[in-house]
Structure 1
Amino acid sequence: MDGIAKGIRRIVAVTGNEAHEVQQVAKDFDALLDSIAKLPFGEAKEKQLKETNTKLGQLSISVLQKAALKTKFTKIEKSVKDEVKARTKADSKLCLDSVKNYFTENPDAKYFVSHVNISSNAKIITEAINLVKKQHKEKSLFLITGLKNDSKVAQGTYLSNEHLKKLPATDVATLASKFIGGRAGGKGNVVQGMGTEAAGVDEAIDAVTKLLSEKL
C-alpha cells in the first residue's frame, strides 16, 4: 500500500487521449448549462438544475474547469431563484387582491369561492385565509391555486365559526378532492391540501359553490 507523508498532497494528472476526453467532458457540460439557461422558467428548468447540480459534483475534470462550471451553474441557479421569488410575490398580491376586492365589492356575500390562476402554492392560500380570519372573520373562503397545465394544484378551505355549525370544513375539501385528486387535512375552521388533477378545477369550483349555496 502506498503511503503519503503528512503534509504531502498527491496530484493526479492525465495526458494524451485521457486529457482530451476530460476536456470534452467539461465542454459538453458547459453546453448543457447553456441549454438549461435558455429553457423557459418552469418546473422542467428547476428539475434539470437539481439533476445537473448532482452531476456537476461527480465530474472528474480539472479543478479549474470544475470551478468555472460551478460559477456558471450558480449564476443560472440564482436567476431561477430570483424569478421564483418575484413570481411568488406577484402571485401572492394577485391572490390577496382578488379576495379583498371580492368582499369589498360584495359586502353582503357570505363566502368567496375561486380558482386563482397562479402556480400551485399552499402558502399563498394560507395568507389569504389569514386575511379573511383577520378582516372578514364572519365570511368563508374556498380557493384553488394552480395553472391548468401544471401537474398539481393546491386547495384551501376556511369556514367562519357560524358557518362551521352548518357544514364541516372537511366536507368542502373532500368534495373538491373528488375532482382535483389528492387529499386534504386539517381541523376546525381550516382544511388544506394538494391535488394532482388540474383538469378538474372548474368542476371542483362549481361543486363547492353549489354546496356552500345550499348549506350556508
Structure 2
Amino acid sequence: MTGTVVRKRKGSFWIAVAAALLASAGVAIWKLWPTDAPAVAVPDRVCANTLPGKLAADLLPKRGDQYWENVGPGDRFDVPYTGPTPDCTFASGDREVSVMYFQYVDVDRVKSIDEAKEKVEREAEGPGSAPLRLGEARGYASKRAAVLLLNCPMRENPRIIEARVYHRGSLPSDGLGAKKLAALASEVMRLAAKDVYKCDSDSALPAGEPTLGQPRGE
C-alpha cells in the first residue's frame, strides 16, 4: 500500500512539472508575439489639405485604427459657400475631432453678431474653460472645445467670423487637450480669415501660438 501511494505521488509531481514547463513555454511565445497596434498614419495636411497634419496627430492616438476624415458638403474646406458652411471631421480609434467655421452678420435669416458673441461668452463661463487669444481674435479653450471670434467687416458692414473645434472620445494622456485644441482652432481661424472670408488679417492674426489663460475652477 505504501509503495503504491509513493509511486502515485511521484507521478503527480512529474505531471505538475510538465504542465509548468508547458505554461512557461506558452508565456514565452506570447511575449514574442507582436501585441502593439499599428501606428496611426496622419497625412501632412488634413481636412482636404488645408490644415497642418501635426495638429491633428497631436489630438489622436499614436497607435490604433486607421486615420480617416470627412469633409462636407462638397470636397473642399477652404472656399466660401452660399449654402451650408463646410465642416471637417477626422478620427482614429475612439477619438474624433470636428472642425468648422462660420460668419455672422446682422441680416434677416442669419444668426446675428450679438447672438454669436453671447453664445461664446456663455460657453466660456463653464468649468475648465480658459480665455483664448490670437491677436485680435478672442475666445476660449477647454479639454473638449476651442472657439475664436474675429471682427471681419464686409464692405464696411459689421461681420464676425468664428472658428470652432470639438473633441470627442478619450482625452490626450498628457493633459494638454485645451492647448492642442487652441492651436488647431487658431489655424482654422487663419484659414477662414485669409482664404475664405478675405479679412484684413495680416496684423489681426499674428504668427505663432495663441495665448491661453488659466482655466476656471472645475
Q: With structure 2 as the length reference, what TM-score do the two structures score? A: 0.28
Higher RCO (CA < 8 A, seq sep 6+): 2
Instruction: Report the structure, 1 or 2, having the larger strand content.
Output: 2
If the length of structure 1 is used for normalisation, what is the TM-score? 0.28
Structure with greater proportional helix content? 1
